[in-house]
Copies of this chain bind each other. A is one copy, B any other.
Amino acid sequence: MKRIGVLTSGGDAPGMNAAIRAVVRLGIERGWETFGVRNGFAGLMAGSFVQLGARDVGGVIQRPGTLLGSSRAPDFETVDGQDRALEWLARKRLDALVVIGGNGSQAGAHALSGRGFPVVGLASTIDNDVHGAEMAIGVDTALNIALEAIDRLRATAASHHRAFLVEVMGRECGYLALMAGIAGGAEVVLVPEVEVAPGDVAAEIRAMYERGKGHAIVVAAEGVRGGCAALAPKLAEAEIGFALRTTILGHVQRGGTPGVFDRLLGTRLGTAAVQHIAAGMTGILLGLEGGAIIPTPLGEVVARRRELDPALLDLARVLAR
């Protein structure tokens, strides 16, 4: 019989609610009590808890966002902030904590773990840059939203023989841009990991124009040098053949109704979290790797970052012809 906590932290991601629901219901199956922490680590430092029963997580699996709320909490990087959190965890007599979030959140999880508290992290971020997780919760849904936007822009691009520059999320990681770009049949994909001079991008588009392509879609991660705000005027000046329009997708990518993949992934990760806590395996991140849920020590997770596969960038180029 255990008492466990669960929190969501950092940017919200579709599928977080499926993970919370699985933690709660699998816990009940074992006779445990589960307490949600409101608004991530900020709520943990402030002692903002709510007990969660089976009915409290009814009807949430299809909801975007996180029912627990989330926040970014720089205070938690201080020893003082962690002290307050540990005090609350002790006062509420919790035996373990599940932390659902991306790299920043797992750094927090690692800090708590380093202070001796049993923590299990679940990879959740639409950037998909967590080491130990080939697909984090939220990535698939965010990709589908970006893809839908690209499909729509292609329709209007084709009607007007235009080029569109589409900025998708990803400050340091081009995963979303690359995968949405390949799936959307983008003519050019730009990621922060590989810098390409605007002149070279323009020359590539111009060459497509001259080969007779009727329109072009350029998908860029927000983290490309200067962002699309800087890139767009440079492309426009460079005479790419097509008239250019820019769209910045922004936060709509986060808020979609979670698809099957993210609901199942959240469910499997939440299930595995309870199993690992029951087995006394903590200080780990659980993530999908090679199609299975695999534990990785939190120390390794925070020391590394998931890298982009450069072969996929080449593939994007070959497919765009």
A-to-B contact residues, CB < 8 Å: 8, 12, 18, 21-22, 25-26, 28-29, 39, 54, 58-59, 61-66, 69-71, 134, 140, 143-145, 147, 149, 151-156, 158-161, 164, 179-180, 182-185, 245-252, 254-257, 259-261, 263-264, 267, 271, 288-292, 315, 318-319, 321
How far is B16's CA from A159's CA once the two chains are assembled, in angstroms?
A: 11
Question: Which one, B25, B39, B66, B152, contacts A254 given CB within 8 A?
Answer: B152
Determine whether the beta carbon of B255 is less than 8 Å from that of A160: no
How far is B255's CA from A153's CA once the two chains are assembled, in angstroms?
A: 6
Determine whether the beta carbon of B159 is less than 8 Å from that of A260: no
Q: How far is the CB of A100 from chain B (nearest CB, A)?
A: 12
Determine whether the beta carbon of B321 is less than 8 Å from that of A62: no
Q: How far is the CB of A62 from chain B (nearest CB, A)?
A: 5
How far is B69's CA from A248's CA once the two chains are assembled, in angstroms?
A: 24
With contacts A140-B261, A144-B259, A248-B250 known, is A64 near B160, CB below 8 A?
Answer: no
Q: How far is the CB of A130 from chain B (nearest CB, A)?
A: 15
How far is B161's CA from A70's CA once the two chains are assembled, in angstroms?
A: 8
Q: How far is the CB of A188 from chain B (nearest CB, A)?
A: 15
Top 7 closest pairs, chain A to chain B, by CB? A152-B255, A65-B159, A64-B155, A247-B250, A155-B255, A12-B159, A183-B263
Determine whether the beta carbon of B154 is less than 8 Å from that of A69: no
Which chain B residue has the least Cβ–Cβ distance from A63?
A: B155
Chain B residues lying within 8 Å of A246, measured Cβ to Cβ, are 250
With contacts A29-B318, A156-B251, A289-B291 known, is A161 near B69, CB below 8 A?
Answer: yes
Question: So how many copies of this chain end up in the complex?
Answer: 4
With contacts A22-B319, A29-B318, A248-B247 known, is A152 near B256, CB below 8 A?
Answer: yes
How far is B246's CA from A22's CA once the two chains are assembled, in angstroms?
A: 28
Determine whether the beta carbon of B71 is less than 8 Å from that of A185: no
Q: How far is the CB of A142 from chain B (nearest CB, A)?
A: 9
Question: Which one, B152, B185, B267, B315, contacts A145 given CB within 8 A?
Answer: B152
Q: How far is the CB of A167 from chain B (nearest CB, A)?
A: 10
With contacts A22-B319, A250-B248, A251-B245 known, is A259 near B155, CB below 8 A?
Answer: no
Question: Which one, B151, B153, B290, contacts A290 given CB within 8 A?
Answer: B290
Chain B residues lying within 8 Å of A257, measured Cβ to Cβ, are 151
Which chain B residue has the least Cβ–Cβ distance from A22?
A: B319
Chain B residues lying within 8 Å of A71, measured Cβ to Cβ, are 160-161
**Beyond A26-B319, A247-B250, A288-B291, 4 extra complex contacts between A and B, CB < 8 Å:** A54-B321, A65-B158, A183-B267, A247-B251
Determine whether the beta carbon of A179 is less than 8 Å from that of B264: yes
How far is B252's CA from A145's CA once the two chains are assembled, in angstroms?
A: 11
Determine whether the beta carbon of A149 is less than 8 Å from that of B65: no
Determine whether the beta carbon of A255 is less than 8 Å from that of B183: no
Determine whether the beta carbon of A264 is less than 8 Å from that of B155: no
Q: How far is the CB of A321 from chain B (nearest CB, A)?
A: 5
Q: Sample 15 A-B pairs with CB under 8 A, ordered by A number.
A: A12-B156, A25-B318, A58-B185, A59-B154, A59-B185, A62-B154, A134-B291, A147-B263, A155-B255, A156-B251, A156-B254, A179-B264, A183-B267, A246-B250, A248-B248
